[in-house]
């Protein structure tokens, strides 16, 4: 295990109806005027936004509002949010929604405190030095943004999707009411589940030895997702399934399962090019990319993939041919994704094989991380070709 610092100061407020406490939580932080930032309508339709406002009114907290965040949140709305916060003297941003709303809130929070263009943080020109506090009421278990220091924004001009990170934009509190996720369509539930599993796999495939504790934590989250995702899809109102998935989503990405070990993140890098270009759901893109990446790199450490296959998917170990066990595990993962309704190849995702060179060029500009296996541009093309033609 490697040395590490673990700093995850978000106050998680978990359970049924806990969103009614948001007013008091904001008041305790001393914010008198806040921005409520939300998405394209689900929070209005479900009545959540109304309950959040009631809670703020009761606590005597004033608010401005900005809705309309799209999945794969855009820079254009971030600029509007920054202007609005400056004009209204906003002191805290309350995200009511999923990863897209939280990420947009984080971008606004950093942008308000910066004299230049907020995009500088996303294209590597500047580091976040100051930000307004961000808090969240989460409505989908997926991106883990409710506990992460990251934010991913898409530049409308050219649909370029880029990320940034800083502990300054980690939410100060996040309210997690599993009941709020019961209105999710099956497809969004599955996209979220795929992202949660991908966040674990990005950490699981490591070059660091002797990481039993984080290996076992990773496996626990994966096994939970394999059990609970089909249950939540079959019974959307199953509170216990939703609750287990919701907490799995947070621990999958606040790094508790990834400390002290090298991580990969190249599947995410490749996927961000897909959701940038096609505006597809992040989880759907990962369902296509991640098993393809696994097939491409498994020989780098067959035993680690065989460990995943046996411990997570219950495959039999083939001691004469661990590579076969490794490949069986990857097949099981892809089959699981198919069973929960995710696309598994380009056709199902709506992607085009002729775009592969452009996708890989973009990746090259962005640069690939060292990760589990350092990838060249040709490697990225190969992975995308596997993804294009994947079958069960
Ligand atoms: O906009 P509304 O109307 O709310 O609809 C949303 C949206 O269409 C809907 N939804 C959310 N909660 C709902 C609901 N519909 C019914 N009932 C509910 N309770 O679901 C759709 C997807 O929402 P979105 O916020 O886009 O989903 P997610 O949480 O998966 O976020 C995806 C974004 O997060 C980024 C992704 O790249 C993508 O842009 N990521 C952020 C990370 C981070 N900040 O740490 C890490 C991730 O790896 C990821 O890259
Ligand atoms: Zn993700």
Residues 216, 150 within the same domain: no
> Which atom in ligand 1 lies closest to the alpha carbon of residue 188?
20
> Nearest bound ligand to CA 290?
2
Q: Is the pLDDT of residue 259 over 70?
A: yes
Domain-located, residue 49: yes
Domain-located, residue 382: yes
Model confidence pLDDT, tens digit, residues 82-131: 999 999 999 999 999 999 999 999 999 999 999 999 999 999 999 999 99
Model confidence pLDDT, tens digit, residues 147-196: 999 999 999 999 999 999 999 999 999 999 999 999 999 999 999 999 99
Residues with CB under 5 A from ligand 2 (ion): 195
| Residue 334, burial from CB neighbour count under 10 angstroms (0-12, 13-18, 19+) | buried
pLDDT of residue 366: 60
Q: Which residue among 8, 36, 42 is best mutated to probe the pocket of ligand 1, counting the most ligand atoms within 8 A of its Cβ?
A: 42
Nearest-CA residue for ligand 1 atom 15 is 184
Percent of the chain with pLDDT over 70: 99
Residues 175, 242 within the same domain: no
Nearest-CA residue for ligand 1 atom 7 is 71
3-state class (DSSP) for residue 261: coil
Question: CB–CB of 270/288 below 8 Å?
Answer: no
In angstroms, the CA 287 to CA 190 distance is 10
Residues 169, 221 within the same domain: no
pTM summary value: 0.98
pLDDT of residue 363: 83
Q: CB-based contacts of 10: which residues, under 8 Å, 6+ apart?
A: 146, 147, 170, 171, 172, 173, 174, 254
Looking at the 3D structure of the chain, how many domains does it have? 2
Residues 355, 302 within the same domain: yes
> Nearest bound ligand to CA 201?
2
Residues 304, 323 within the same domain: yes
Q: Is the pLDDT of residue 65 over 80?
A: yes
Instruction: State the average pLDDT over residues 296-321.
Output: 98
Residues 163, 198 within the same domain: no
Q: Is the pLDDT of residue 287 over 70?
A: yes
Q: Is the pLDDT of residue 368 over 70?
A: no
In angstroms, the CA 324 to CA 251 distance is 31
pLDDT of residue 365: 65
> Which atom in ligand 1 lies closest to the alpha carbon of residue 140?
12
Instruction: State the average pLDDT over residues 365-383.
Output: 86
In angstroms, the CA 261 to CA 273 distance is 26
Averaged confidence pLDDT in the chain: 97
> Which atom in ligand 1 lies closest to the alpha carbon of residue 253?
45
Question: CB–CB of 350/268 below 8 Å?
Answer: no
Q: Which residue among 48, 74, 97, 151 is best mutated to probe the pocket of ligand 1, counting the most ligand atoms within 8 A of its Cβ?
A: 97
Give me the CATH number covering residue 42. 3.40.50.1970
Q: How far is CA 73 from CA 69, 102, 158, 236, 372, in A?
A: 6, 9, 14, 26, 29
Where a domain ends, among 110, 145, 180? 180
Write out the H or E segment, with its range, that includes residue 176.
Answer: strand 173-176
Give me the CATH number covering residue 288. 1.20.1090.10
Residues 209, 148 within the same domain: no
Altogether, the residues listed in the chain come to a count of 392
Domain-located, residue 2: no
Instruction: State the average pLDDT over residues 119-146.
Output: 98
Residues 204, 79 within the same domain: no
Give the closest residue to 311 by CA, choosing from 218, 376, 207, 238: 218
pLDDT of residue 133: 98
3-state class (DSSP) for residue 159: coil
Q: Is the pLDDT of residue 367 over 90?
A: no
pLDDT of residue 369: 72
Residues 218, 71 within the same domain: no
Q: Is the pLDDT of residue 389 over 90?
A: yes
Q: Is the pLDDT of residue 364 over 80?
A: no
Question: CB–CB of 214/262 below 8 Å?
Answer: no
Model confidence pLDDT, tens digit, residues 316-352: 999 999 999 999 999 999 999 999 999 999 999 999 9
Residues 255, 164 within the same domain: no
Residue 145 domain boundaries: 11-180
Domain-located, residue 212: yes
Residues 233, 110 within the same domain: no
Q: Residues with Cβ within 6 A of ligand 1?
A: 39-43, 71-72, 97-101, 103, 139-140, 142-145, 148, 150-152, 180-181, 183-184, 188, 192, 195, 253, 268, 282-283
Nearest-CA residue for ligand 1 atom 20 is 188
């Amino acid at each position: 295990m490697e040395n590490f610092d673990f700093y995850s100061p978000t106050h998680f407020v978990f359970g049924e109806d806990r969103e009614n406490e948001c007013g008091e939580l904001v008041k305790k932080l001393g914010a008198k005027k806040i921005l409520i930032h939300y998405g394209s309508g689900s929070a209005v339709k479900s009545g959540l936004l109304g309950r959040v406002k009631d809670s703020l009114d009761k606590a005597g907290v004033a608010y401005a509002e900005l809705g309309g965040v799209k999945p794969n949140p855009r820079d254009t709305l971030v600029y509007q949010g920054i202007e609005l916060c400056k004009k209204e003297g906003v002191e805290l941003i309350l995200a009511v929604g999923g990863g897209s709303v939280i990420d947009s809130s984080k971008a606004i929070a950093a942008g308000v405190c910066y004299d230049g263009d907020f995009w500088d943080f996303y294209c590597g020109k500047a580091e976040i030095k100051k930000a307004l506090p961000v808090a969240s009421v989460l409505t989908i278990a997926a991106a883990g943004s409710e506990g992460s220091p990251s934010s991913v924004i898409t530049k409308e001009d050219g649909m370029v999707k880029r990320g940034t990170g800083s502990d300054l934009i980690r939410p100060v509190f996040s309210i997690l009411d599993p009941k709020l996720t019961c209105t999710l369509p099956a497809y969004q539930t599955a996209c979220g589940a795929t992202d949660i599993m991908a966040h674990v796999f990005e950490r699981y495939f490591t070059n660091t030895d002797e990481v039993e504790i984080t290996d076992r934590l990773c496996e626990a989250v994966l096994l939970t997702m394999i059990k609970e995702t089909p249950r939540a899809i079959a019974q959307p109102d199953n509170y216990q399934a939703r609750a287990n998935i919701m907490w799995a989503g947070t621990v999958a990405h606040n790094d508790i399962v990834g400390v002290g070990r090298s991580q990969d993140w190249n599947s995410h890098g490749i996927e961000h090019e897909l959701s940038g270009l096609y505006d597809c759901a992040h989880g759907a893109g990962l369902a296509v990319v991640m098993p393809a990446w696994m097939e491409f790199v498994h020989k780098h450490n067959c035993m680690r993939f065989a460990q995943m296959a046996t411990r997570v998917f219950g495959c039999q170990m083939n001691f004469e041919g661990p590579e076969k066990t490794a490949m069986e595990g990857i097949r099981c993962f892809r089959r699981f994704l198919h069973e929960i309704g995710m696309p598994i190849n380009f056709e199902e995702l709506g992607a085009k094989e002729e775009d592969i060179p452009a996708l890989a060029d973009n990746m090259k500009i962005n640069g690939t991380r060292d990760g589990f296996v350092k990838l060249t541009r040709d490697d990225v093309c190969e992975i995308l070709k596997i993804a294009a033609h994947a079958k069960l």
